[in-house]
Amino acid sequence: MAIFVRLPRAVRLEYVPMKSNIRIVLVNTTHPGNIGAAARAMKNMGLTRLYLVQPQGFPCAEATARASGADDLLAHAVVCDSLEQALAGCRFVVGTSARSRRISWPVENPRQCAARMLQECEQGEVALVFGREHSGLSNAELETCHYLVHIPGNPDFSSLNLAAAVQVLSYELMMAHTEQDAGPGEDRRDLAPADEMESFFGHLEQTLVELEFLDANQPRKLMRRLRRLFNRARLDKTEVNILRGVFSAAQGRKLSKKTGR
């Protein structure tokens, strides 16, 4: 008697070249070996664009050794002075956090995050930001991100090795990319990139201080909420220009009140 076994629907396993507009950004990495191992993890999953913000001891033989064949990624790595510089031109930025509730910011798991990043990268540059081995990303750095991703695990031992975290997230990106059969992402607007959003937040803060709405000595709490609000709204370039026009008008009014003109 023949027995028919229902097999799961076939999963596409062929290699689909990865998107080239995904940046992996490592901030202030202490151990060059981790940079090499991260490059290897990326290349295994088809990612190519490595950005290093103030790496300690790079280039370095240990990084090359740990890259073990991914040294082309190290050779092409973009070394930056600041996170802002590394994120210039990015329309979507995800930060990584070893602790799930470090700050109140939208947090996703790696699978959700990979799907969202791939959707966003249909329209432009995206970045995934990793922190320092000892202290992760600062709150200010996390606040430059639209979302955070946390790799779930043992809550009493939640911090992965940096390169291992790069591996997990690169793998999820590769899987989401391979399985992606959806059409192009729905948000086709010309979103303001990270550097423009930083200038926007600077202008907003300055305006609120001048209007005496914000205490210049304690700007963090309100600014954090406002950042969250505007990041959620995903402003496009025109919207940023309109709002900055409003700020300038408010600043002008305040000035003319003061000078009596």
Residue ranges in contact with ligand SAH by CB under 6 A: 96-99, 130-131, 133-137, 149-151, 153, 158-160, 162, 165
Alpha carbon distances (Å) from 87 to 83, 113, 134, 247? 6, 18, 22, 24
- Residue 186's nearest CA partner among 94, 127, 230, 122 is 122
- Take residue 3 and report the two structure tokens written for it: 């027995």
Shortest Cβ 145–ligand SAH spacing (Å)? 11
Shortest Cβ 238–ligand SAH spacing (Å)? 33
Helix 162-179 crosses helix 110-120 at what angle (to 10 degrees)? Answer: 60
Shortest Cβ 29–ligand SAH spacing (Å)? 9
Cβ distance to ligand SAH smaller for residue 159 or 251:
159
Shortest Cβ 155–ligand SAH spacing (Å)? 10
Cβ distance to ligand SAH smaller for residue 43 or 150:
150
Q: Which value, in Å, is the radius of gyration of the alpha carbons in the chain?
A: 21
Shortest Cβ 9–ligand SAH spacing (Å)? 30
Q: Strand order of the sheet with strand 107-108?
A: 78-80, 49-53, 22-27, 125-130, 90-96, 147-149, 107-108
Shortest Cβ 229–ligand SAH spacing (Å)? 25
d(C-alpha 195, C-alpha 131), whole Å: 19
3-state helix, strand, coil in the chain (%, to 5): 45, 15, 40
HEC string of 31-66 equals CHHHHHHHHHHHHHCCCCEEEEECCCCCCCHHHHHH
d(C-alpha 246, C-alpha 252), whole Å: 10
- Report CA 62 to chain centroid distance, whole Å: 26
- Residue 145's nearest CA partner among 99, 108, 189, 185 is 108
Shortest Cβ 129–ligand SAH spacing (Å)? 7
The answer to whether 25 and 51 have CB atoms below 8 angstroms apart is: yes
